[in-house]
């Protein structure tokens, strides 16, 4: 116990000092270290809250990212390279930020009749945190440039998941009943068990997919152990949306990689009342009462969806504005469905932008699966592709898209996948040139061939 108290009091200081050092190093061009620390901490809200007690601690993540941006600029100029490489996500990510900004001002007009920008306002803070997603993508995509660095970021994300799983399993042990599930928040602090479950199933499906492409080794064993603990958390967080997302992800994975595994999955779906834990069965059955009517929670969601759709119909093009719904004094304070929320707050334009982002994510993942340089890259591509379907299922019953803690890793994975695609494409022009050189050699003789070889050697 004494060691535990010592670590809890020492670690925030150690992370704080390490973070400041990493930020300074990043400003000189060593972006990787600041980015790795930020990646580790992004889902660990409980740790970040402890760091906030120190000077500038409330901007700790922002300082790390700012150091990374400065280092990115320094590296761009010193290494004489483009500020940003090309990817499918670049353009739509910029459009997303611009539209969210316009939607923030639209919300001011809807609520107050005038612009009322206040940096400390809840809506502005939510907007700032949301805009961090594309920023994180660009920093990862343009500064994590080698396979070694990609593996390091992947390992750091696994460590972050492991810490999240540790806290979640501990809290499940303290609150094992269905009535106590609201006390299980993992490291998220201000979010609930549904968001924690969404975090686990989106990224667990990526880890599981990667293992299908790995040979037997210690790394594969460690990832599978983490997958097991993550699945345990999903099971006993009692999130029906997470169950749906996990089933969807596993179904796609097994259909692509090993159709034999569809048999036990289908059997579980058929005989779920016999094979699942009793409390999980009770949670699933809570959707309806003994008279076959929707339970109170489900009925309230239906009612709030209807209110959201009514607001959308009155403002169909641009909606009522970013983050406005929770300030209207309505029941639940949220639509509990990201699609209704986007339509209500951002209108048809925001809805289209959202699905273009989703499409670009999926296309990047699918391209890497087909064109990746090695099995691990292909596994990451397929896993990311499948995770988007899991994310879409998760968001049917809540907002798992807008919050920093559960969704930051999705954009980091997007950056890694996009970088691996750039690396894969980088080999193709060389191959085509070599082929062209061989053809040219047949026509012009050995002297020309010698000249070309010298060019490629240089």
pLDDT band at residue 273 under the 50/70/90 scheme: confident
Q: Does residue 331 have a pLDDT over 80? A: no
Domain-embedded: residue 5: yes
Report the C-alpha gap between 345 and 339 in whole angstroms. 10
pLDDT band at residue 428 under the 50/70/90 scheme: very low
Q: Does residue 349 have a pLDDT over 90? A: yes
* Average pLDDT for 257-267: 94
Q: Does residue 239 have a pLDDT over 70? A: yes
Domain-embedded: residue 458: no
- pTM for this predicted structure: 0.89
Residue linked to tokens 């939510």: 126
Same domain, 73 and 98: no
How many distinct structural domains can be found in the chain?
Answer: 2
pLDDT by residue (tens digit) across 39-55? Answer: 999 999 999 999 998 99
| Average pLDDT of the chain to the nearest whole number | 87
* Average pLDDT for 175-197: 90
Q: Tokens for 282? A: 């009770």
Which residues are CB-contacts of 439 (< 8 A; sequence separation ≥ 6)? none
Q: How many residues does the chain have?
A: 458
pLDDT band at residue 332 under the 50/70/90 scheme: low
Same domain, 96 and 45: no
Q: How many CA atoms lie within 13 A of 213 on its CB side?
A: 19
Check if the beta carbon of residue 93 is closer than 8 Å to that of residue 137: yes
pLDDT at 7: 56
Q: Is 356 helix (H, G, I), strand (E, B) or coil?
A: helix
pLDDT at 118: 83
Domain-embedded: residue 454: no
Q: What are phi and psi of 294, to 5 degrees?
A: -60, 140
* Average pLDDT for 160-188: 92
Domain-embedded: residue 449: no
pLDDT at 438: 44
pLDDT band at residue 440 under the 50/70/90 scheme: very low
pLDDT at 432: 40
Residue linked to tokens 């504005």: 321
* Average pLDDT for 70-74: 95
Considering only residues 118 and 107, tell me which one the structure prediction assigns the higher pLDDT. 107
Give counts: helices (H), strands (E), the chain. 18, 0
Check if the beta carbon of residue 272 is closer than 8 Å to that of residue 284: yes
* Average pLDDT for 433-448: 44
Q: Which of 21, 48, 83 is the endpoint of a domain?
A: 83
Q: Tokens for 119? A: 């940096």
Domain hosting 113: range is 87-431
Q: How far is CA 230 from CA 158, 198, 400, in A?
A: 11, 11, 17
Q: Does residue 378 have a pLDDT over 70? A: yes
Domain-embedded: residue 446: no
State whether the Cα torsion 453-454-455-458 is positive or negative.
Answer: positive
Check if the beta carbon of residue 381 is closer than 8 Å to that of residue 367: yes
Q: Which of 51, 83, 115 is the endpoint of a domain?
A: 83
Q: How many CA atoms lie within 13 A of 29 on its CB side?
A: 6
Same domain, 405 and 294: yes
Q: What is the DSSP string of 433-452?
A: HHHHHHHHHHHH-HHHHHHH
Same domain, 231 and 99: yes
State whether the Cα torsion 432-438-444-450 is positive or negative.
Answer: positive
Please list the residues that pair with 294 across neighbouring strands: 288
Q: Does residue 452 have a pLDDT over 60? A: no
pLDDT by residue (tens digit) across 136-146? Answer: 999 999 999 99
pLDDT band at residue 442 under the 50/70/90 scheme: very low
Closest CA to 336 of 399, 393, 283, 288: 399
Check if the beta carbon of residue 42 is closer than 8 Å to that of residue 408: yes
CA torsion angle 422 424 427 428 (round to 10): -90
Q: Does residue 447 have a pLDDT over 50? A: no
Closest CA to 72 of 149, 141, 147: 141
């Amino acid at each position: 116990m004494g060691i535990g108290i010592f670590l809890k009091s020492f670690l925030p200081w150690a992370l704080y000092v390490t973070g400041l050092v990493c930020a300074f190093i990043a400003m000189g061009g060593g972006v990787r270290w600041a980015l790795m620390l930020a990646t580790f901490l992004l889902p660990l809200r409980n740790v970040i809250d402890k760091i906030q007690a120190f000077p500038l601690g409330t901007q700790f993540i922002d300082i790390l990212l700012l150091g990374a941006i400065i280092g990115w600029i320094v590296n761009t100029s010193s290494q004489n390279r483009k500020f940003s490489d090309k990817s499918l996500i670049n353009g739509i990510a910029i459009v997303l930020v611009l539209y969210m900004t316009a939607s923030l001002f639209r919300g001011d007009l809807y609520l107050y009749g005038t612009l009322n920008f206040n940096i400390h306002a809840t809506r502005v803070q939510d907007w700032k945190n949301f805009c961090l997603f594309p920023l994180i993508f660009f920093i990862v995509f343009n500064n994590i440039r080698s396979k070694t660095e990609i593996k390091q970021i992947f390992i750091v994300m696994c460590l972050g998941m492991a810490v999240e799983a540790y806290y979640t399993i501990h809290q499940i042990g303290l609150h094992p009943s269905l009535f106590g599930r609201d006390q299980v928040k993992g490291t998220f602090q201000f979010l609930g068990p549904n968001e924690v479950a969404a975090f686990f199933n989106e990224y667990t499906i990526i880890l599981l997919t990667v293992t299908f492409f790995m040979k037997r080794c210690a790394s594969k064993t460690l990832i599978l152990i983490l997958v097991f603990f993550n699945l345990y958390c999903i099971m006993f967080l009692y999130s029906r949306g997470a169950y749906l997302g996990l089933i969807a992800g596993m179904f796609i994975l097994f259909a692509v990689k090993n159709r034999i595994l569809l048999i036990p999955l289908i059997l579980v779906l058929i005989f779920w009342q016999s094979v699942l834990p009793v409390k999980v069965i009770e949670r699933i059955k809570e959707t309806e009462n003994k008279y076959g009517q929707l339970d109170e929670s489900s009925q309230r969601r239906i009612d709030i969806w209807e209110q959201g759709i009514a607001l959308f119909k009155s403002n169909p093009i641009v909606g009522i504005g970013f983050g406005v719904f929770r300030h209207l004094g309505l029941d639940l304070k949220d639509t509990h469905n990201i699609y209704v929320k986007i339509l209500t707050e951002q209108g048809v334009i925001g809805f289209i932008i959202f699905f273009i982002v989703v499409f670009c994510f999926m296309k990047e993942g699918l391209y890497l699966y087909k064109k990746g340089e090695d099995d691990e890259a292909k596994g990451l591509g397929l896993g990311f592709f499948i995770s988007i379907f899991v994310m879409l299922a998760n968001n049917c019953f809540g907002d798992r898209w807008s919050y920093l803690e559960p969704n930051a890793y999705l954009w980091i994975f997007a950056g890694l996948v996009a970088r691996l695609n750039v690396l894969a494409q980088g080999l193709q022009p060389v191959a085509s040139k070599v082929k062209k050189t061989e053809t040219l050699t047949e026509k012009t003789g050995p002297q020309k061939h010698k000249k070309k070889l010298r060019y490629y050697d240089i």
